[in-house]
Chains A and B, each alone.
Chain A
């Protein structure tokens, strides 16, 4: 099969779609031509990606990693040290990622050698490719229906723009997945940042979208510069950024061994730890971990399919994939406990916030944060295979849930109009299962997968993370994740009950939800609102086929994808495929039983609490009264955004104002003053020279004449001479400075 050789086309096909839609006017002008281009080219990429998967299963990858004995030692040694340091935790294995396929070309000169770019196929890569292409294709197809009525300005479709952006987004994610080195990885990573900026700000005329786009770009960039420094550090120690085991590549045993012990600039921190920490900052930004999580909930200012793309298949998954790609470095570092802490904390923290949200997409957004926390925590305990497994299953069921919420919103708009504050507020919904049966059924599949009910996909992958935490004796992580799983079941049940059951409340929606809380501002809606004419009295409706088919495809994966690694059935295909020869934990009925029970209890409590809540849209949440100020804090997301506004953001703009003031009123004043003083001295000298000193010139000596003449010339306007004066001052300062140094 030729698929390995064609793999480079996988990112280039959607990229070509972006270029064609953007640059070829006949395509760009037509809504139909644009989405056809995007769907066909991404469809081809999907075929190649699954072809690569098939080829790898039937033939295997051609090259074996060059694992030296040193690498084995590097893997073994932390065993003893790690065990001592972490109080009995098992050592973290340095993964080899199994056999691979690799191709590259020279991208830039690098002294006597070259910086090479290329692609690398191995188990982890190929599964990511298969997931991203398929999920993204479903999201593309869904968008055809969802965006059909988006016109701005009226009469001008912007959907071709939309499809070009999501094609570029997908291309970036695919390029990142295939990258054979960290720099190409980073380039695609940043392009995703660009696409998120463009797509979150797609409705650029809305100030809330504008702010959300800026926030996403800048917040993730904070993490990115950390990652960039980490990349520099790795590059300067290893000599390249290529993923591989050969000398000078970053999985090389000798390299790992050397950074494990080498001191870094910070006393007491090994080079490996500093590298891993800096790289992890990138993950914190991109995968929206605390404290850089603030951008992700706002990211739903973009159209809903974008949320599905960002929250499920691409951007946030990138951060987790980054740690997996560089896991050998993490494995020899001491930062894994930090990773585990951040992940577990985010999992619980976000789950708490999700309990008190009313916006259907915002609940899912916090659920994404929480699930990413699970994955990051898994990475932190060394269970990268489980993290990857959960990443893949989560991508499917979260894409499903987001698209499902898009379908719900689309249906709601028929009743409440095109107003996100109304159409997305779960208090305005209710009993939608009757209006939208396909959406309901598929949404339920996603729901069961997310809360981890067997045999849905999320059960298997979440169970594996929790199992790893348990058998590796990370009991704190285990406890926190279990609590987060309980809350997940609770808040998702709340959502399901309030949205799909009970009484439909949309005929009398809540009146203008406190706009200030969400930062919404509805300028521009007038231009853009072509849904108003179906106002009043209309029932919500099921979405068109182009929207329900993707839901069904994703639904299948939400139900069945977990079976690729169903420990209880003796299936380890997934583990063997991505980490051949790796250790496989024995499944535990106790751990799985507790996890399932916790989920059922959470769901049960959810049903009990919300079964009779929300008789009409203006009712309060039953927990709001019970929890009081705690509820308010949760609803306001622990005030993190407000705190950032008052501290970092205020400080940044303050510093800007201050430095600008210094620039204009101190530095530039000095320059102008120097000029003025020079002119003044010139004038004074001129006067003295002409009137007082004329008679005593001889006494003063020839030197004075020369100086006087020079000054006179300057005062008569020869700018070169002003220059000489200023220069004199500068040289003097430089000399003083130099000697003082």
Chain B
């Protein structure tokens, strides 16, 4: 029965994608340190980071991963390229990784951006080999998190990803690095402790950590009873759902006297614990304050990877653990999620207007953009105020497709912005916006590249950022029209924030202290870092079908869960 919705391959390479960076990390650490200023290790690490990207692109282009493949019974998307071996028998836990439409775009995002961030890290001079090794470790942790289909494994990678990032900020960061690293670490960790406890309870109630089984259970789809071995409650019977099993476990331990006799309450508590864990990571207002500090104080390549990829771990967690395991609760609380999204959108946009520091400004713009992601998720799950008719599935699918497109596009545009901000700092020694001025005259190519990144970030049509926003807003207008109407204010103000930023740097009279800055030259290092980012932003902005095909089928299936609620 398991094989009906997971598909092994003779040459399953998911594990290879996720864990190969670890080998590169070890090599980078043990490789005898070459003479000063040698780039051997750096180039070696860079080349190694192309391996997971190559494997991902191979899967994508060769059809080894077919995003439109349905499970044998047709009730969910087929999970492909699966590796599954017994891992901790005591917890009935497997090492279980695989790909579907919800994680493949993020695997692509991670594998594509890591080489770029590694290339950007060539600026790091102190203990460069350790830094690069940490980047590979981080990549592996993030990839492991995206492909894990067992909660224990996923949580392991989740927590583990904090470690390299902590050291990257703490040891290589800016002025306030210790405070920021500490805040980053503690905040994320604290947010997820509840989720860990709660999943232990889910395990007791169902006897499994298997996320695929749990999501089928949550949606009332048939599950092989042999996969379940509840320690508490009445056990699995036909028609049982995750919610009913949790309630039965609550009854079993006698918590009903505290929690009341409604079978939704335990699930609701669990829902909020999961939400908080991921809302911190996604930097949802008001759980976002670690984020501007972290983005400001991390070294350039660290800001790039944490904003471009790591923040998406929050959104992905919401999809995999919150929406897929607790669809009814998500549906019930969606209006509150939408309000949180709106708060992020407006706070991010307006507070961005008051920033004087370039990196903090980009950080606030990111809060705004992640607000759209949360809005899309809330929209997909919300009850519609008026009948959406036969377009109901399509509208919700739009929101979910939009979320995926937005995550990928935001990753690429923010990485480019942070990189260019770092380059401005290298050239001018400041991040203060009022210290620049007229630099387009001094560095026209720099201005052109940053212009593309900036316009992609603000969602200009023709660049990838717009695609996500368009489809998210389409879904959001369908189910949350009032909040969406207010949220478009964010589109205007973000545009103002970014245009103002761009003009403060590049327009107006030239700051006479900055008349001799070196421009980016075609083919030089900075050009090579930004070129792939710009190309991806352009390609998916003009023709998003290949990217959106990845998530479309899985999103459709997920949307159907909500139309049938």
Residue numbers of A with Cβ under 8 A of B are 25, 106-114, 152-153, 183, 186-191, 194, 197, 201, 204-205, 207, 209-210, 213-214, 217-218, 221-222, 225-226, 228-229, 232-233, 235-237, 239, 265, 523-524, 652-653, 655-661, 663, 667-668, 670-671, 675, 719-720, 722-727, 730-731, 734-735, 738, 741
Interface string of B393-436 (1 = CB under 8 A from A): 11101100100000000000000000000000000000000000
**B 259-280 contacts with A by CB, 8 A:** 268-269, 272-273, 275-276
Q: Is B488 an interface residue (CB 8 A)?
A: yes
Interchain CB contact under 8 A, B391 and A236: yes
CB-CB under 8 A from A204, the residues of chain B are 438, 440-441, 506-508
Residue numbers of B with Cβ under 8 A of A are 182-183, 185-187, 189-194, 268-269, 272-273, 275-276, 285-290, 336, 346-347, 350-355, 385-386, 388, 390-391, 393-395, 397-398, 401, 438, 440-441, 455, 460-462, 466-467, 470-471, 473-474, 477-478, 481-482, 484-485, 488, 491-493, 495-496, 499-500, 503, 506-510, 522, 543-545, 548-549, 552, 556, 559
CB-CB under 8 A from B460, the residues of chain A are 190-191, 194
Interchain CB contact under 8 A, A730 and B194: yes
Interchain CB contact under 8 A, B395 and A205: no
User: Which of these, B190, B275, B495, B509, contacts A217 with CB under 8 Å?
Assistant: B495
Minimum CB–CB distance from A220 to chain B (whole Å) comes to 10
User: Which of these, A663, A735, A738, contacts B351 with CB under 8 Å?
Assistant: A663
Interchain CB contact under 8 A, B482 and A229: no
Minimum CB–CB distance from B100 to chain A (whole Å) comes to 15
CA distance A313 to B559 in the complex (A): 44
Interchain CB contact under 8 A, A659 and B272: no
Interchain CB contact under 8 A, A205 and B507: yes
Smallest CB-CB separation from B473: which chain A residue?
Answer: A232
Interchain CB contact under 8 A, B273 and A207: no
Interchain CB contact under 8 A, B191 and A727: yes
CB-CB under 8 A from B398, the residues of chain A are 110-111
A sample of 9 more A-B contacts (CB under 8 A), given A191-B461, A738-B268, is A153-B441, A207-B509, A213-B507, A228-B473, A658-B350, A723-B193, A724-B190, A730-B191, A730-B276
Minimum CB–CB distance from B347 to chain A (whole Å) comes to 6
Q: Would A660 and B350 be within 8 Å (CB), given that A207-B509, A723-B190 are in contact?
A: yes
Q: Would A112 and B556 be within 8 Å (CB), given that A723-B189, A726-B190 are in contact?
A: yes
CB-CB under 8 A from A153, the residues of chain B are 441
User: Which of these, B269, B390, B471, B492, contacts A225 with CB under 8 Å?
Assistant: B492
CB-CB under 8 A from B346, the residues of chain A are 659
6 contacts between A and B (CB under 8 A): A113-B394, A187-B462, A221-B495, A229-B485, A663-B289, A731-B273
Interchain CB contact under 8 A, A205 and B189: no
CA distance A663 to B395 in the complex (A): 34
User: Chain A's interface: helix, strand, loop or mixed, by majority?
Assistant: helix
Minimum CB–CB distance from A117 to chain B (whole Å) comes to 9
CB-CB under 8 A from A233, the residues of chain B are 477
User: Which of these, A108, A659, A725, contacts B354 with CB under 8 Å?
Assistant: A659
CB-CB under 8 A from B549, the residues of chain A are 109
CA distance A229 to B473 in the complex (A): 8
- 9 closest residue pairs by CB, A with B: A656-B353, A723-B190, A660-B354, A111-B394, A187-B461, A232-B477, A109-B552, A726-B190, A723-B189
Interchain CB contact under 8 A, A214 and B482: no
CA distance A493 to B43 in the complex (A): 71
Q: Would A222 and B492 be within 8 Å (CB), given that A210-B507, A236-B388, A726-B186 are in contact?
A: yes
Smallest CB-CB separation from B556: which chain A residue?
Answer: A111
CB-CB under 8 A from A738, the residues of chain B are 268-269, 272
User: Which of these, B272, B351, B388, B545, contacts A107 with CB under 8 Å?
Assistant: B545
Interchain CB contact under 8 A, B394 and A110: yes
CB-CB under 8 A from B503, the residues of chain A are 201, 210, 213-214
CB-CB under 8 A from A235, the residues of chain B are 474
User: Which of these, B268, B481, B500, contacts A214 with CB under 8 Å?
Assistant: B500
Interchain CB contact under 8 A, B194 and A228: no
Interchain CB contact under 8 A, B276 and A652: no
Minimum CB–CB distance from A259 to chain B (whole Å) comes to 12
Minimum CB–CB distance from B81 to chain A (whole Å) comes to 21
CA distance A284 to B496 in the complex (A): 19
Interchain CB contact under 8 A, B289 and A667: yes
Interchain CB contact under 8 A, B352 and A727: no
Smallest CB-CB separation from B448: which chain A residue?
Answer: A22
CB-CB under 8 A from A722, the residues of chain B are 186, 190
CB-CB under 8 A from B491, the residues of chain A are 221, 225, 228
Smallest CB-CB separation from B467: which chain A residue?
Answer: A108
CB-CB under 8 A from A720, the residues of chain B are 189, 193
CA distance A651 to B491 in the complex (A): 17
Minimum CB–CB distance from A584 to chain B (whole Å) comes to 38
CB-CB under 8 A from A218, the residues of chain B are 492, 495-496, 499
User: Which of these, B273, B478, B544, contacts A734 with CB under 8 Å?
Assistant: B273
CA distance A538 to B90 in the complex (A): 97
CA distance A330 to B42 in the complex (A): 61
Q: Would A671 and B187 be within 8 Å (CB), given that A205-B508, A652-B353 are in contact?
A: yes
CB-CB under 8 A from A229, the residues of chain B are 473, 477, 484-485, 488
CB-CB under 8 A from B272, the residues of chain A are 731, 734-735, 738
CA distance A187 to B462 in the complex (A): 6
CA distance A194 to B460 in the complex (A): 8
Interchain CB contact under 8 A, B481 and A265: yes
Q: Would A659 and B189 be within 8 Å (CB), given that A109-B552, A111-B556 are in contact?
A: no
Which among B285, B388, B438, B471 has the greatest number of chain A C-beta atoms within 10 A? B438
Smallest CB-CB separation from A274: which chain B residue?
Answer: B481
User: Which of these, B193, B276, B467, B478, contacts A236 with CB under 8 Å?
Assistant: B478
CA distance A661 to B361 in the complex (A): 14
Interchain CB contact under 8 A, B388 and A111: no
CA distance A233 to B191 in the complex (A): 38
Smallest CB-CB separation from A658: which chain B residue?
Answer: B350
CB-CB under 8 A from A114, the residues of chain B are 545
CB-CB under 8 A from B508, the residues of chain A are 204-205, 207, 210, 523
Interchain CB contact under 8 A, B354 and A657: yes
CB-CB under 8 A from B438, the residues of chain A are 204-205, 524
Interchain CB contact under 8 A, B559 and A111: yes
CA distance A646 to B285 in the complex (A): 30
CB-CB under 8 A from B192, the residues of chain A are 727
Interchain CB contact under 8 A, B385 and A112: no
Minimum CB–CB distance from A560 to chain B (whole Å) comes to 37
Interchain CB contact under 8 A, A201 and B397: no
Minimum CB–CB distance from A107 to chain B (whole Å) comes to 6
CA distance A735 to B484 in the complex (A): 27
CB-CB under 8 A from B395, the residues of chain A are 236
CB-CB under 8 A from B194, the residues of chain A are 727, 730-731
CB-CB under 8 A from A222, the residues of chain B are 492
CA distance A646 to B121 in the complex (A): 46
Which among B269, B385, B470 has the greatest number of chain A C-beta atoms within 10 A? B470
CA distance A678 to B537 in the complex (A): 44
CB-CB under 8 A from A228, the residues of chain B are 470, 473, 488, 491
Interchain CB contact under 8 A, B185 and A719: yes
CB-CB under 8 A from B347, the residues of chain A are 659, 663
CB-CB under 8 A from A190, the residues of chain B are 460-462, 466
Interchain CB contact under 8 A, A727 and B495: no
CB-CB under 8 A from B275, the residues of chain A are 734
